[in-house]
Structures are given as C-alpha cells and as structure tokens.
Amino acid sequence: MDLWLAQDTASDALLAADPLALLTGMLLDQQIPLEKAFKGPRLLADRLGVDRLDAEAVAAHDPEDFARLFAEVPAIHRFPGSMAERTQKLARAIADDYDGDASAVWTGAADGKDLLKRLGALPGFGKQKAQIFVALLGKQFGVTPEGWREAAGAYGEDGSRRSVADITDAGSLAEVREFKKRMKAEAKAAKG
C-alpha cells in the first residue's frame, strides 16, 4: 500500500505497516502541517531505536525522557510536552484495552457506528478526528464495516477533498489544503 500522508517514503511505509503509528500520526495532526504530524511516528521510532511502535513500551517509557524525545530538534510537534503525554496516554489505552494491538480498534468493530465510538473513546480523539480516521480507514485501508460512510459523516463522501482521508497525491493534497483554508476563512467571517 502506498500512502501519501507524510510525503516521505520511510514515514509513509511505517504508517501503512504499523497501526499504532497510524493512530499516533492522526493524534499528532493538530496545529502543525499534516505531513509533519504523519512524519512524527517514524521520527519517534527512530529516536526509540525501533522499527515499529509498541504500545506497552511507549506507555511505560519514562515520561520525562519521552518528552525529551519529542522536543529533540527537529521537534516531533510544536507542543512537545503535551503531545508526548497524549501519545503515551493513547499507547496506554491501546495496551490496556486492545492488548497492545492497535488494529483491534477497527478489526473488532461491529459496524461503522461502533468503530466511531471506539475511536472517539481513545485519548486525543474527539468526534471530528474519529470521523476523519474512519474515513481514512475506509478510503485508503479497505476497512469498510457496514455504515462506515455514515459514521464518517461528510469525510466519508466519495470525491470529497476534506481531510487526510482524501490525500493520495500532490493534487489531492492541494485540494485538501484549499478546503481547510476556505473553512477557516468562513469560520472567521462567521465570528464577525
């Protein structure tokens, strides 16, 4: 599977192969460029000296050292301390609730509504982030439980260019950026 989220071959390969890395990339996708967010898991794995992220190992890592890994130049996120903490909370939830298997979040879902509920229960995943992730799983990973498009809301629509779920090349990336820019401008105008 070829992803185009991090726009970096090694980073995208990790995202495609490692469900915890994919969830972590989505978690990091806030207040930074999306390609930086999705490069984060590869950078973290490199700094930990591992090929894949292990939920129990990430959750059990010394929090101060983990924050240091996030803050190392180049920083994994513009808010390294808080995002290191959120990453460890996400890993702890995967370790405790899914026996360390991040893919069980979706492989064990009864339907789209259940998948959305499972994602929404993860630390750092609000409704919108959960809907975008449902759309990403459906559109690019073939995870299509009954009702997934409805659960993903507008993000699940065919042909939309609203989110990371729709990025497959440079053109779709530009369209998603334009959509986000337009939404921010409309929200700003509505506030007056």
Summarize pLDDT for 21-32 with one digit per residue, the tens.
999 999 999 999
* pLDDT digit string, tens, across residues 130-146: 999 999 999 999 999 99
Work out the average pLDDT over 87-93: 98
Number of residues that make up the chain: 192
Work out the average pLDDT over 72-96: 98
- How much is the pLDDT for 123? 98
pTM for the whole thing?
0.96
* pLDDT digit string, tens, across residues 35-81: 999 999 999 999 999 999 999 999 999 999 999 999 999 999 999 99
Within its chain, how far is the Cα of 20 from the centroid?
9
Residue 163 has pLDDT above 90, yes or no: yes
Distances (CA, A) of 60 to 22, 41, 120: 19, 17, 23
Mean of the per-residue pLDDT values for the chain? Answer: 96
Alpha-carbon span 82 to 77, nearest angstrom: 9
Residue 2 has pLDDT above 80, yes or no: yes
- How much is the pLDDT for 54? 98
Residue 1 has pLDDT above 80, yes or no: no
Q: Side-chain half-sphere of 123: how many Cα atoms within 13 Å? A: 18
Supply 34's token pair: 């999306």
- How much is the pLDDT for 152? 98
